[in-house]
Amino acid sequence: MQEIIKDWFQVVGGTVAIIGGSIAALKAIHEMRENRKQRQIEFRWKRVNAAKELLTDIHKHEFASQAVTMLDWYAAHHEYQLPSGERKVITWQMILDTLGKEQAECESDIEIFIRDCFDWFFYLVDRMEHYISAQLIDRSDVEMAFYSYAHFLDSNWLVFSGFIECHRYILAKRFFEKLTDNRPKVTANTANTEKPKRVFNKAAIR
């Protein structure tokens, strides 16, 4: 009888040990999964914050931010402060005329200012596309901020493509080409009627 009781206790003890080990193993697996989820969330936040910083760089840059303002004010004139301290009114047509010229033909302070603004704007967008290609940031975290700008650039692409190609901002060109494919359909007529419309030339960047 004692042997039976002893064997029974051994069986029970073994069973408890197995159950306890299984619970410990399940707990460890659960903790590993939770830790993995937490790391993924932290990694995602790092990428989001990196994208936010790149957008902030554009909107806080002395010249690039002015290019953003020019794109925002495409339908009307706006006053800008030049590096000299003078305040000048610049229209959308003045912007297109300036960017459509050869660099050597731009001599006035306003023309130089406009070109500097868009030079920095496309440079920073070019770097942004580089970080996207390197998988350091996600395209979806930055592209919505540029949807309306892509439309205005596309509507006057003969002007802007020449400027971008002059400065060899090929990645910026790719960024706006992809943005044109992804953006919501625009129904309002915001195209400049004095310039022919042309879609982004995909073949030129492949």
How buried is 129 (Cβ within 10 angstroms: 0-12 exposed, 13-18 middle, 19+ buried)? buried
Residue 13 identity? G
Q: What is the pLDDT of residues 3-53, one digit of tens each?
A: 665 555 565 566 656 776 677 776 777 667 766 777 777 767 888 889 999
Give me the domain span that covers residue 99.
Answer: 61-205
H helix or E strand, kind and range, residue 21: helix 2-60
Distance (Å, rounded) from C-alpha 173 to C-alpha 201? 9
- What is the pLDDT confidence band of residue 185, given thresholds at 50, 70 and 90? low
Is residue 30 included in any domain, yes or no? no
- Total number of domains in the chain: 1
Is residue 91 included in any domain, yes or no? yes
The token pair at 168 is: 């060899």
Q: What is the pLDDT of residues 105-146, one digit of tens each?
A: 999 999 999 999 999 999 999 999 999 999 999 999 999 889
pLDDT at residue 83 greater than cutoff 90? yes
Is residue 94 included in any domain, yes or no? yes
